Amino acid sequence: MEKLLIRDLTKTFPAGRSNKDRITVLDNISLTIRENEFVSLVGASGCGKSTLLSIIAGLQSHDNGDLKVDGNDILGPGADRGVVFQSYTLLPWLTARKNVEFALEATGHSKSEIGDIAMSHLKLVGLEPFAERFPAQLSGGMKQRVAIARALSYKPKLLLMDEPFGALDALTRVQMQELLTDVWEREKLTVIFVTHDVEEAVFLSDRIFVMASNPGRLKKIYDVSLPRPRTPDTPRLPEFAQLQAEVLGSIRSEMRDR
């Protein structure tokens, strides 16, 4: 079943002072993402990955085209979509638990239900023992786990992630990738994941969408047929290196053509 449908999406931004001069940053994008699929968006810097993600999140408007989640038009942000950014976006004056609870306040649950939901999601990301710590007392990986717990706590079925592990060291990053695939499988999520790291995209994804720039558009879609569950041995498979090289080649050829 399809989770997200995008048809002929176009987005422009003002190019100068006048609102008449506009630059097209996303040009005629059409794509379908299936339920429970893990899709990565890759492409050269400035090709429009973040803009596309934030339009799907309902945080930015678009000029033309249709976007539907579960058959419903995207008209703004909604609880059907969870968002995790590279910067941790936690409220520094609230503990990990309170950060998750705060996001649940508008959901209509009782106070004790909110407490239970927050703790169960902190547990899901392995942070139960750190629930009463403030963001400043947590490592980067822990902060990002709180952000993931918060995004998952209102049970979105579509998780939108913009370079979520970009600020983490290599080892923490690998641990977070494993945590994410685990949560994705358990919670039957659909994930759209923006990354600059092609190895990360190959490790995590069912499909990789390569975007081209000026204007931003879909260039090529790669199927990742590597076996699941992915393990620390997966990157050693010859197909892994081959696909990684192909995707990198596709991004680089576009950069050369610019």
CB pairs under 8 A, 24+ apart, for 79-82? 79/107, 79/154, 79/155, 79/156, 80/156, 80/157, 80/158, 81/56, 81/57, 81/156, 81/158, 81/159, 81/160, 82/151, 82/152, 82/154, 82/156, 82/158, 82/159, 82/160
Angstrom distance (rounded) from CA 258 to CA 256: 6
Looking at the Cβ atoms of 19 and 112, the one nearer to ligand ATP is 19
If one asks whether residue 57 binds ligand ATP (CB under 6 A), the answer comes out as no
Take residue 141 and report the two structure tokens written for it.
């990986």
Interacting residue with ligand ATP among 12, 24, 36, 50 (CB under 6 A): 50
Nearer to ligand ATP (CB atom), residue 35 or residue 199:
199
Among 21, 34, 46, 77, binds ligand ATP (CB under 6 A): 46
Is residue 153 within 8 Å of residue 100, measured between CB atoms? yes
Give the Cβ contact number of residue 93 at 10 Å: 10
- Would you give the DSSP letter of residue 170? H
**Nearer to ligand ATP (CB atom), residue 236 or residue 256:** 256
Beta carbon nearer to ligand ATP, 13 or 93 = 13
Size of the site for ligand ATP (CB under 6 A): 10
Closest CA to 198 of 172, 175, 224: 224
51 is a contact residue toward ligand ATP (CB under 6 A): yes
Question: Which C-beta is closer to ligand ATP: that of 19 or that of 45?
Answer: 45
User: Which x/- pattern over 129-148 shows residues binding ligand ATP (rule: CB under 6 A)?
Assistant: --------------------
**What gap in Å lies between CA 107 and CA 156, rounded to an integer?**
12
User: Of the two residues 104 and 251, which places its CB atom closer to ligand ATP in the complex?
Assistant: 251
Choices 27-35, 45-53, 93-101, 131-139; region in contact with ligand ATP by CB under 6 A = 45-53
Residue 127 CB, nearest distance to ligand ATP (Å)?
A: 27
Binding of ligand ATP by 176 (CB under 6 A) = no
12 lies in the binding site for ligand ATP (CB under 6 A):
no
Which residues of the shown chain bind ligand ATP in the complex (CB under 6 A)? 13, 25, 43, 45-51
